[in-house]
Structure 1
Amino acid sequence: MISRRFLLGGLSAIAAVPGCAGAPDRSPRPPVVARGSATSEALVARSGVTGTVAFAVADASGRMLDGRGADVALPPASTAKAITALYALDRLGAGHRFGTSLVASGPVRGGIVQGDLWLVGGGDPTLDTDGLDDMAAELAAQGVRGVTGRFMAYGGALPFIDEIDRGQSIDANYNAAISGLNLNFNRVYFAWGAGGAAVSLDARSGRVVPPVTMARMRVVGRSSPTYTYDAGQGVDNWTVAQAALGRGGNRWLPVRQPDSYAGDVFRWLAARRGVALPAPVVTRSAPSGTVLLTHSSPPLSEILQDMLKYSNNMTAETVGLTASRQGSLTASGAAMGQWVAAKYGASVDLRDHSGLSGASRVAPSQMVRVLVGAQADPAGRALRGLMKDEGLFDAGGREHLSDTLRIKAKTGTLSFASGLVGYASAGGTERVFAILSADLARRDAMSDSDTRPAGSSTWIRNARILQSRLIETWVG
């Protein structure tokens, strides 16, 4: 069985100014020292974390208690999703649901749509094959058996973005496309036998395994690169090096043309229910006609909780774009930054909503300012409850939940960049913190195709251990 949370777990890896009614009164920014306490400095010195280690910690009122380079802006990585969650809660509301609809351009007579049938995406980041199958079943239950016109796939509710960050490897499934019509977090399941035998691509879910025709894989007799990609007319054309396939296996690959993907899969599901549809036509022209049925997503609060837990990039970008109504990730990230300034009086430089872009910059003092302000805001107060319970890392890099210290936080990881931001409490002591570390020189030395640079894993492990020791010092 494949559930939505299974799909999410597989993804874990690494404008006009919006109105801000009800923004809190400004308070003077507390001075932040460049050097931390003697205890925290000693922890940093023996951590083995090269580059820059910056942090800020405050009490629940926002009074700064300790800081080190707290005004130094560093890549936030996925800790940026905490800001995205606040933004979406404020702009859309915790109860917001995304809808995916089937629209008929003409009446239904004798089971046949007199005209075109449209699959219309509303930006739902959680739509999976089971959801599409439910829509196909309901369409068949209404007595629809076919159309006289075309079958249209429309994702124009959001801009089409073929990948979140250009600096990632082409096969990174956490760097999928974005559209108003998304499916299975815009990933396709690739499986193969020994040496590349029995290659298949499908859109599997908990109930059914639809084959996919809009994505094609060709095994090539080479050793590198492992994958190549080329976009055809509505088709994702992949090649894979035979030398990399070994004895057989499987993995998820990103989908670069999500409207075509969703249309392809729905057509197969509809045929399975006795509804004959022609090949999908992808369009960005808005539909008109009668809504036959609508599939609704879970409420936004549940979507955000999963986003924070599994650090899903595609979800972050989709909800952020929905909140901003901007035409690109750059413009949308900037709009969110403007909202942060107006709402919380903090300054951030965000190039997207997921933190996948290494060009984004946030200072720990500014992140703490946002997290403190969120607790005084009706919408933002929900963030703490939506955050994941984080554990403490021992000296060997093994994580465990503490019996006495509770951490509700968001992690962030890029190569040679690590962050942890959130709330910590123990014995009545409450702390709001942001810890960001990055070795920018080593990041700059990486090539675009270097997904696992030498030394990065050890660096990240040391950064996580340091985060735990700092928090224990602050909430001891």
Structure 2
Amino acid sequence: MVQQLNQLIENDPDLKGAIAGISIRSAVSGKIIYDHQGDIRLRPASNMKLLTAAAALNVLGEKYTFTTEVLTDAQVKKNTLKGNLFLKGKGDPTLIKADFDKMALEIKELGIKRIKGNLVGDDSHYDDVRYSLDQPWSDETTYYGAQISALTASPTTDYDSGSVKVKVRPGIKIGDKVHVKVTPKSNYVKIVNNAVTVKEDGKKEITIEREHAKNTITIEGTFPVNAKAVNEWIGVWDPTRYAITLFKQSLANQGIALSGKITTGTVPDTAKVLTSHQSMPLSELLVPFMKLSNNVHAEILIKEMGKVMKGEGSWEKGLDILETETAKFGVNTKTMVIRDGSGISHVNLIPANQLTLLLFAVQKEKWFPVYLSSLPVAGVQNKMVGGSLRNRMKNSSTVGKVKAKTGTISTVSTLSGYVSPRSGQTLIFSIMLNNMLDESTGKKIEDRLVTILANQ
């Protein structure tokens, strides 16, 4: 095995000029079996989520849920709420339109038909810093770089919080504007559609872009008639107002009239809860978080840990907790640079040996089965099982036998987790490839390295 690994690392042309940090341990003894620059600090990309998930399970627990509340400090007289209605978010990253619909129905069932006041969104559960310290400007409009708010919404049950799904398909005939569908349907984003349908053998060139600091999404390009639809997820500007807008729609759908405006503010101390919504428990939330590598979930968990443990929902307090909790697993956080919970930062630095040490230590935690089942599984097509590994390592020696977290940012590809070899004794591995010219070649190298392990 050692010889095979060395040969691959030394001879692969795509690793020339790159840095590879590789650590392999026995899952039983924790002993390092193979180490190639395992103590070199490297950018982990989304392998950072391995730390965030472990800390969140330790601090918040498997059964932890996020609450969203609807409150008022006004009186209801003759079916009229004579004052403001408040929607207070406490970090739930899984709210979808159906949840707002349910809360609106519950308000209707209280006999409220009119609101003689404003609809106020309260996101004060966390601070008002929307982006982590090193997030690139170029990620601002992407779903994976969406703004962080304690009150936010997701378009689908993939739970890409703070974003909308834009589906573009060709028109019926040549020359038609393309057809655009936004999920959830709302007037929060404005669509400027400049893309046209072209002949069947024409070029499929579609761009879907949001303007900086606005919610105007412009669609440009050409789309061949009968071509397959394109889906894109776009991060919205101001997810708090996005969530309140959806709730206002839900109230209107229940026939509840709002005379005031939608705005943001804080719930008065005298307000009482009219209804509330509980998220799924953390044990279930970990599946879309880890399988689909959801950056917004990671940063919300960081802020929630700060709020729960230090009374402040900020990156500063949350990352303090992350480091404290990670150290409890015997990991040397003094060898690391930690700037966020998702790994989107290019400043994060972690040695591969410390990642495998974490993966060894968490095996003895009571929540480990939840942690393990949240990891993507190689070659399994079901998205909520295979996750970001569903189309990788499909050969018989690896399908279903590799459970690992993927990671990708520009010039970086990483993979860390567990593999069950033919010999039967589970191995823990961390492969961190930095300074790559092409991240996709990094994934092929990772797959080849893990396949060598699987065949032992």
**TMscore range, shorter length:** 0.7 to 0.9
Q: How does 1:300-379 map to 2 (within 5 A)?
A: 300-325=282-307, 326-329=312-315, 332-347=318-333, 348-379=336-367
Residues 1:259 and 2:240 are matched in the alignment:
yes
Partner secondary structure for residue 144 of structure 1: coil
> TM-score by structure 1 length?
0.78
Q: For 1:245 and 1:279, how far apart are their aligned partners in 2?
A: 39
Q: For 2:176 and 2:219, how far apart are their aligned partners in 1?
A: 9
> TM-score by structure 2 length?
0.81
Deviations 1:232-278 (A, max 9, x none): xxxx3325263367768553211121110011111111111111123
Q: For 1:367 and 1:163, how far apart are their aligned partners in 2?
A: 25
Q: Which residue of 2 aligns with 1:91?
A: 59
Residues 1:468 and 2:450 are matched in the alignment:
yes
Q: State which of 216, 221, 236 in structure 2 corresponds to 1:238.
A: 216
Q: How does 1:346-425 map to 2 (within 5 A)?
A: 346-347=332-333, 348-380=336-368, 382-391=370-379, 399-400=394-395, 402=397, 406-425=401-420
Q: For 2:450 and 2:353, how far apart are their aligned partners in 1?
A: 19
Change (3 A) 1:304 1:398: closer
RMSD: 3.1
Q: For 1:296 and 1:241, how far apart are their aligned partners in 2?
A: 36
Q: Which residue of 2 aligns with 1:299?
A: 281
The alpha-carbon deviation at position 85 of structure 1 amounts to 0.9
Q: State which of 238, 259, 263 in structure 2 corresponds to 1:281.
A: 263
Q: Which residue of 2 aligns with 1:47?
A: 12
Q: For 1:46 and 1:178, how far apart are their aligned partners in 2?
A: 43
Deviates more, 1:347-356 or 1:106-115: 106-115
Deviations 1:297-350 (A, max 9, x none): 111100012211111111111122111235543653354123312442322322
Q: 1:186·1:255 contact (CA, 8 Å) conserved in 2?
A: yes
Q: 2:304·2:313 contact (CA, 8 Å) conserved in 1?
A: no
One-letter amino acid of the counterpart of residue 104, structure 1: T
Partner secondary structure for residue 100 of structure 1: strand
- After superposing on structure 2, the runs of 4+ consecutive aligned residues of structure 1 that deviate more than 6 Å are 223-226, 244-248
Q: 1:102·1:118 contact (CA, 8 Å) conserved in 2?
A: yes
Q: For 1:357 and 1:54, how far apart are their aligned partners in 2?
A: 18
Q: State which of 115, 124, 141 in structure 1 corresponds to 2:109.
A: 141
Partner secondary structure for residue 429 of structure 1: coil
The alpha-carbon deviation at position 285 of structure 1 amounts to 5.8
Q: For 1:340 and 1:152, how far apart are their aligned partners in 2?
A: 38
Q: For 1:197 and 1:39, how far apart are their aligned partners in 2?
A: 55
Deviates more, 1:192-201 or 1:72-81: 192-201
Q: What count of residue pairs does the alignment treat as equivalent?
A: 413
Q: Which residue of 1 aligns with 2:165?
A: 189
Q: 1:70·1:363 contact (CA, 8 Å) conserved in 2?
A: yes
Q: Which residue of 2 aligns with 1:215?
A: 189
Q: For 1:167 and 1:42, how far apart are their aligned partners in 2?
A: 39
Change (3 A) 1:257 1:405: closer
Q: How does 1:428-447 map to 2 (within 5 A)?
A: 428-439=424-435, 442=437
Partner secondary structure for residue 168 of structure 1: helix
Residues 1:168 and 2:138 are matched in the alignment:
yes
Q: How does 1:122-137 map to 2 (within 5 A)?
A: 122-137=90-105
Q: For 2:314 and 2:224, how far apart are their aligned partners in 1?
A: 40
Q: For 1:105 and 1:463, how far apart are their aligned partners in 2?
A: 60
Q: Give the gaps of 5 or more residues in structure 2.
A: 155-160, 196-204, 381-387
One-letter amino acid of the counterpart of residue 405, structure 2: K
The alpha-carbon deviation at position 408 of structure 1 amounts to 2.0
One-letter amino acid of the counterpart of residue 338, structure 2: L
Q: Which residue of 2 aligns with 1:37?
A: 2
